[in-house]
Amino acid sequence: MFTEETIKKIQHLKTPYYYYDMALLQKTLNAITTESVKYGYHIHYAFKANANANIIQAIHKAGFGADCVSGNEVKCAVENGFDTSNIVFAGVGKSDDEINYALDKTIFCFNCESIQELEVINELATAKDKIASIALRINPNVDAHTHKYITTGLEENKFGINPYEFDAVIEKLKSLPNLKLIGLHFHIGSQITDLSPFKQLCLKVNKINAYFLSKEYDLPIINVGGGVGINYQEPDNEAVIDFAAYFKVFHDFMELRKNQQLHFELGRAVVAQCGSLISKVLYIKNGINTNFAILDAGMTELIRPALYQAYHKIENISSISPTLIKYDVVGPICESSDCFGKAVELPITQRGDFIAIRSAGAYGEVMASRYNLRDEVRSYCSDEL
Ligand code: LLP
């Protein structure tokens, strides 16, 4: 929510930029901590959602671990003071350099996605005379009912090891002495707003967990990834999601043994609502059927609408006009897909008005590009203004 006081503070800043409400981030972190400690769950923050330095620092202070998907994310976590014993590293295509770096740092766990990857990590660990702790990323074939580009837990997706490969993996591990299998890892997709896929996940995990025990792998770590969704339609109604309900699903349906810890990798639900992309209207073009509001921000700053047809609430935070008109809100990039929203109802909008594109804290700034040789996008946090 943009109060007059906030607007006063930010209106002199050169647009476009990301604005982060650090008080809301803190409130979200507190809610996650309160609801997860009830069950002794371990939370890793998925760096891929937002790696802004101030945000990372706040999350580190909250005591979260780190979930990384590249060597540079591991490096970013290390440089920001995350304990290496709290860093997990996933990804279907880890390069040798990335694996070597993570081995040197003795991270908590590699989440491994294929048999060949197991062989390579074993070989690189052997060369360093190290034992790498690993978890198997398993594809549980659970439909997350989310956009096809962000569903990951189906057999047709490139992620994880499929159940029909378990016996081959178990056999393979016997010949890889520099790997220590410590856990099972899952992630079924992102922006999951109905909790029932998580219940399905728990039921699948129970079976897989029992299967590995039957093969004499009593694994201490179960990691269920992230994926819980947020309210893009009405960001102010539910600025902090119902983490109590989310964690309770796992408490109710996951059968953990006494020695087993449950780990999560939350990204979007931590940072999405605290961020907005702030932009200025450059031009208004009134057509016969369509009025265009042309912004100084485009798909280069926030690609989600163009890439996933994602909805972000768009607000004119400076107009005081009581009359509402529909606009296609577009960016300046030379692509027709550079559109933030069609037929968006806004108060009469003029050149120079401020537009806030809401719920942009996750997968916004990190996915920005310099296409069209645009400037790198700026960002400001509420506590530094
Ligand atoms: N763990 C793994 C293994 C993941 O692949 C992801 C996200 C997460 C955790 C964190 O998921 P979250 O809690 O944020 O849903 N760029 C897309 C989202 C891609 C998600 C990729 N993986 C978007 O803008 O919607």
Mean pLDDT of 269-273: 98
Q: How far is the CA of 189 from the centre of ligand 1 (A)?
A: 7
Q: Considering the chain, what is the average pLDDT of its residues? A: 95
Decide if pLDDT at 288 tops 90: no
pLDDT (0 to 100) of residue 245: 98
CATH dotted code for 23-272: 3.20.20.10
pLDDT (0 to 100) of residue 154: 60
- Taking the C-alpha atoms of residue 216 and residue 206, their distance in angstroms, rounded to an integer, is 15
226 lines ligand 1 (CB under 6 A): yes
**CATH 2.40.37.10 residue ranges for the chain:** 273-384
Nearest to 152 by CA among 135, 140, 165, 169: 140
Could you report the per-residue pLDDT of 81-138, keeping only the tens digit for each?
Answer: 999 999 999 999 999 999 999 999 999 999 999 999 999 999 999 999 999 999 999 9
Decide if pLDDT at 246 tops 70: yes
Q: How far is the CA of 87 from the centre of ligand 1 (A)?
A: 16
- Taking the C-alpha atoms of residue 180 and residue 348, their distance in angstroms, rounded to an integer, is 62
131's tokens: 């034992």
Write down the number of H helices and E strands in the chain: 11, 16
Question: How would residue 142 be classed by pLDDT, with cut points 50, 70 and 90?
Answer: confident
Q: How far is the CA of 44 from the centre of ligand 1 (A)?
A: 12
Regarding pTM above 0.75, the answer is yes
52 lines ligand 1 (CB under 6 A): no
305 lines ligand 1 (CB under 6 A): no
Query: Which residues, other chains included, contact 49 with Cβ-Cβ below 8 Å and sequence gap of 6+?
Result: 267, 268, 270, 271, 272, 361, 362, 363, 366
267 lines ligand 1 (CB under 6 A): yes
- DSSP three-state, residue 54: helix
- Taking the C-alpha atoms of residue 151 and residue 145, their distance in angstroms, rounded to an integer, is 8
49 lines ligand 1 (CB under 6 A): yes
Name the closest-CA residue to atom 8, ligand 1: 226
Nearest to 297 by CA among 278, 274, 318, 319: 278
- DSSP three-state, residue 351: coil
Q: How far is the CA of 291 from the centre of ligand 1 (A)?
A: 35
Q: Which of 47, 190, 369 to mutate to test the pocket of ligand 1 (most atoms within 8 A of CB)?
A: 190
Nearest 5 degrees, angle CA 56-CA 316-CA 292? 110
pLDDT (0 to 100) of residue 156: 64
185 lines ligand 1 (CB under 6 A): no
DSSP E strands: which ranges in 230-334?
A: 261-266, 275-286, 291-295, 314-316, 324-330
Q: How far is the CA of 284 from the centre of ligand 1 (A)?
A: 35
Q: How far is the CA of 190 from the centre of ligand 1 (A)?
A: 5
Q: Which helix (H) or strand (E) holds 123?
A: helix 115-127
Question: How would residue 144 be classed by pLDDT, with cut points 50, 70 and 90?
Answer: confident
**CATH 3.20.20.10 residue ranges for the chain:** 23-272
- Taking the C-alpha atoms of residue 350 and residue 339, their distance in angstroms, rounded to an integer, is 18
Percent of the chain topping pLDDT 90: 92
Q: How far is the CA of 164 from the centre of ligand 1 (A)?
A: 25
- Helix 166-174 and helix 115-127: axis angle, to 10°? 20
**CATH architecture under which domain 273-384 falls:** Beta Barrel (2.40)
CB 56 within 8 Å of CB 361 = no
Q: Cα-Cα-Cα-Cα dihedral of 347, 350, 351, 355, to 10°? A: 0
Could you report the per-residue pLDDT of 10-50, keeping only the tens digit for each?
Answer: 999 999 999 999 999 999 999 999 999 999 999 999 999 99
